[in-house]
């Protein structure tokens, strides 16, 4: 455990983790744009199969992309991805397991969204805690709505009905009281918006089936020692160029030219793994223009906002025996939702982690740090009283404003489906490849989706090179 906690993180900055880069005059077999999990997964897969002339170009001063672990207070804080989404049949969990790194399973479970309510202190808008019976009743309606939406989609097929419309219809057909209807709307916002990072009126009912195609299952889990250990493992002996922004990719000839902030690099194959938000902003100029099938996929897929607010307190004053603390938002501001994780339950420090998502998440991104912290504290004071202590420190993410991401992750939105993700992943001219969570038709918006998409792109290149990918041990 000592070695894992103090020695392994050092591998992020010392050799032989990052092999020394070759000269710009070299022609690489593969250049990978983006040093997140997807890019590192692709590089690792290629290297394991004997492809040595690989270079990863990363615009940031670190690896990991939207996996970003910091340790300001003595506990690992994940500014990006937090969870392993399902530990059964998961290749990412297998890597963590093989490294003998401890995980912490959570009640929050992608295979059973409503199970999150089994460990939740839920308060109404006046600050009164709902009873177990009231939560059970609400949970029952959540499950009934899940069946209702599935049945509706099966009968009507692809349609423009939004999740919000379906929820309104369900409430009317079941004659729900105003109170119960508001509670159900809040809960679905909590369980859906904070999963796909878009408001319920920006999600088509038919697109949600994408999230049921994953091969992984089982509980979700967090990694107390940090998700960055996965990125470090994948980056071992990989040539990297950090602080290197790619601004253009010329791919009309056999040798591709990647224009960067550090000059031009040449390669026979290129894998682009940058976040979808970057491509939507046209931050990389492709020449020739990308084919219609790729451009249409980039256009149809949506991007969402999902941010974190970590608060460190001098002591625990909240419901310490639950995993989640929630307050139903007012009818005037129904989407003003802070989804609060009792992070202290897992890190053994008095820390709360508040999530924001969707339109409200975009709004909060524009606030000052002081206004953001004060807003979360106003909610906590309504529940626990005005005498609760103020936080001694905080950390806030703003992924939508980050020029290297412009989003938290992809979402199907109103117009995309599994085929849209597959189209995005289609190779261009048998030399330009796309990977990243936004190209995964089974596990979008997750580290798993990023990892497997990197493997997929690497195997496409290996197939082109006539190399049979070796079987994993």
What is the predicted pLDDT for the residue at 283?
A: 98
What is the predicted pLDDT for the residue at 152?
A: 85
Instruction: Go through the chain and tell me how many residues it has.
Output: 473
Same domain, 228 and 201: no
Kindly report, residue by residue over 11-58, the tens digit of the pLDDT: 443 333 444 444 567 899 999 999 999 999 999 999 999 999 999 999
Same domain, 273 and 222: yes
- Please give the radius of gyration of the chain, using alpha carbons only, rounded to the nearest integer: 23
CA distances from 380 to 48, 126, 311, 384, 413 (A): 50, 12, 12, 6, 32
**Residue 180 pLDDT > 80, yes or no?**
yes
Tokens of 372: 């953001």
The domain boundary, picked from 158, 187, 212, lies at 212
Average pLDDT in the 110-117 region?
84
Instruction: Establish if 395 belongs to a structural domain.
Output: no
Q: List Cβ neighbours of 397 (8 Å cut-off, separation of 6 or more).
A: 79, 80, 307, 308, 309
Least confident of 110-114, 201-205, 352-356, 393-397: 110-114
**330 vs 171: which has the higher pLDDT:** 171
Instruction: Determine the longest span between alpha carbons in the chain, in angstroms.
Output: 71
The pLDDT confidence band at residue 175, using thresholds 50, 70 and 90, is very high
What is the predicted pLDDT for the residue at 23?
A: 55
Same domain, 418 and 453: yes
**What is the pTM assigned to this prediction?**
0.93
Same domain, 184 and 226: no
**Residue 104 pLDDT > 70, yes or no?**
yes
Tokens of 350: 């008095």
E strands, 313-364, are 324-327, 339-341, 351-357
Rounded to the nearest angstrom, the gap between the alpha carbon of residue 63 and the centroid of all alpha carbons in its chain is 16
Kindly report, residue by residue over 310-331, the tens digit of the pLDDT: 999 999 999 999 999 999 998 7
Element (H, E) at 164: helix 163-173
DSSP three-state, residue 97: helix
The domain boundary, picked from 169, 189, 212, lies at 212
CATH number at residue 417: 3.50.50.60
What is the predicted pLDDT for the residue at 18?
A: 44
User: What average pLDDT does the structure give for the chain?
Assistant: 92
Which residues are paired to 353 by β-bridges? 310, 341
Same domain, 45 and 92: yes
Domain containing 297: what range? 27-67+76-107+218-302+412-473
Same domain, 208 and 242: no
Which string of DSSP letters, residue by residue, matches 48-76? Answer: HTT---EEEE-SSSSSBTT--EE-SSSS-
Beta strands 306-312 and 263-272: pairing type? Answer: unpaired
What is the predicted pLDDT for the residue at 211?
A: 75
Average pLDDT in the 106-124 region?
90
Instruction: Establish if 267 belongs to a structural domain.
Output: yes
Instruction: Establish if 352 belongs to a structural domain.
Output: no
What is the predicted pLDDT for the residue at 24?
A: 61
**Residue 456 pLDDT > 90, yes or no?**
yes
Tokens of 397: 């993410």
The CA distance from 288 to 282, in Å, is 14
**213 vs 48: which has the higher pLDDT:** 48
What is the predicted pLDDT for the residue at 34?
A: 98
The CA distance from 109 to 100, in Å, is 23
Sign of the CA dihedral 129, 132, 133, 136?
positive
The domain boundary, picked from 212, 232, 252, lies at 212
Instruction: Establish if 4 belongs to a structural domain.
Output: no
* Local structure of residue 10 (DSSP, 8 states): G
**Residue 131 pLDDT > 90, yes or no?**
yes
Beta strands 104-105 and 221-222: pairing type? Answer: antiparallel
Q: How many domains does the chain divide into? A: 2
Kindly report, residue by residue over 135-150, the tens digit of the pLDDT: 999 999 999 998 998 8
Instruction: Establish if 378 belongs to a structural domain.
Output: no
Instruction: Establish if 85 belongs to a structural domain.
Output: yes
The CA distance from 47 to 164, in Å, is 46
Same domain, 222 and 292: yes
The CA distance from 42 to 270, in Å, is 11
The CA distance from 466 to 267, in Å, is 18
DSSP three-state, residue 438: helix
Closest CA to 201 of 160, 149, 156, 171: 160
């Amino acid at each position: 455990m000592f070695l894992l906690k103090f020695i392994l993180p050092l591998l992020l900055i010392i050799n032989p983790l990052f092999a020394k880069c070759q000269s710009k005059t070299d022609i690489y077999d593969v250049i990978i744009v983006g040093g997140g999990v997807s890019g590192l997964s692709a590089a690792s897969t290629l290297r394991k199969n004997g492809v040595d002339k690989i270079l990863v170009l990363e615009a940031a001063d670190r690896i990991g992309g939207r996996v970003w672990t910091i340790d300001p207070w003595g506990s690992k804080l994940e500014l990006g991805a937090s969870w392993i989404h399902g530990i059964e049949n998961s290749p990412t969990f297998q890597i963590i397991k093989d490294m003998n790194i401890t995980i912490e399973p959570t009640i929050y479970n992608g295979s059973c969204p409503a199970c999150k309510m089994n460990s939740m202190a839920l308060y109404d808008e006046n600050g009164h805690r709902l009873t177990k019976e009231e939560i059970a009743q609400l949970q029952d309606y959540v499950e009934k709505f899940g069946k209702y939406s599935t049945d509706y989609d099966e009968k009507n097929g692809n349609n423009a009905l939004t999740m919000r419309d379906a929820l309104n219809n369900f409430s009317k057909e079941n004659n729900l009281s105003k109170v119960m209807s508001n509670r159900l709307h809040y809960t679905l916002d909590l369980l859906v918006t904070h999963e796909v990072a878009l408001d319920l009126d920006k999600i088509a009912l038919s697109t949600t089936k994408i999230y049921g195609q994953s091969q992984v299952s089982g509980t979700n889990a967090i990694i107390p020692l940090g998700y960055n250990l996965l990125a470090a493992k994948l980056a071992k002996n990989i040539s990297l160029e950090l602080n290197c922004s790619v601004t253009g990719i010329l791919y009309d000839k056999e040798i591709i030219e990647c224009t960067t902030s550090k000059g031009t690099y040449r390669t026979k194959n290129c894998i682009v793994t940058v976040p979808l938000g970057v491509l939507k902003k046209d931050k990389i100029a492709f020449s020739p223009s990308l084919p219609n099938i790729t451009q249409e996929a980039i256009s149809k897929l949506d991007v969402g906002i999902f941010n974190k607010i970590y608060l460190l307190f001098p002591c625990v004053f909240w419901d310490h025996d639950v995993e989640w603390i929630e307050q139903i938002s007012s009818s005037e501001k129904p989407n003003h939702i802070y989804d609060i994780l009792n992070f202290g339950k897992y890190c053994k420090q008095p820390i709360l982690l508040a999530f924001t998502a969707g339109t409200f998440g975009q709004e909060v991104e524009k606030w000052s740090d002081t206004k953001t912290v004060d807003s979360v504290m106003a909610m906590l004071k309504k529940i626990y009283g005005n005498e609760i202590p103020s936080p001694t420190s905080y950390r806030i993410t703003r992924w939508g404003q980050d020029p290297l991401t412009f989003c938290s992750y992809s979402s199907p939105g109103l117009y995309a489906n599994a085929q849209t993700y597959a189209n995005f992943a289609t190779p261009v001219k048998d030399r330009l490849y796309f990977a990243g969570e936004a190209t995964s038709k089974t596990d979008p918006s997750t580290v798993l989706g990023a990892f497997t998409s990197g493997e997929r792109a690497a195997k496409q290149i290996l197939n082109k090179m006539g190399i049979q990918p070796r079987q994993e041990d």
